[in-house]
Amino acid sequence: MFRYILDLIVVVVIITLLRSVLGVLMKLFTGGLGGSASTAGQTPRRPSVPAGGELKKDPVCGTFIAAATSIQKRVGNETYYFCSVDCRDKFKA
């Protein structure tokens, strides 16, 4: 009986180790460890948006947008901030 329990524990430990090794190998092949694996087929990352900064309200749709990443249009002494090209074009019309 003791031999059976000991064999069972050894089998569980071996299976756990194999799963761990296979998991690491799969991450290496898919580029999941931050290595220099190929990025073919992956969607490109969006550019990072700066945290903080001044928020401006789009006069067309009312969306608040960071001034640093907005589309700007200057009319006279006034600067308008837009969330998209579509909103800017609607404002022009």
CA dist 48 and 38 (Å) reads 21
Average pLDDT, the chain: 82
Q: What is the pLDDT of residue 51?
A: 59
The gap between the terminal CA atoms of the chain, to the nearest Å, is 86
CA dist 88 and 75 (Å) reads 12
Quote the tokens at residue 62.
Answer: 């009312």
Q: What is the pLDDT of residue 2?
A: 82
**What are the residue boundaries of the structural domains of the chain, listed by start?**
1-35, 55-92
Q: What is the pLDDT of residue 39?
A: 54
CA dist 39 and 14 (Å) reads 33
Look up the pTM and report it: 0.45
User: Does the structure show a pLDDT above 90 at 13?
Assistant: yes
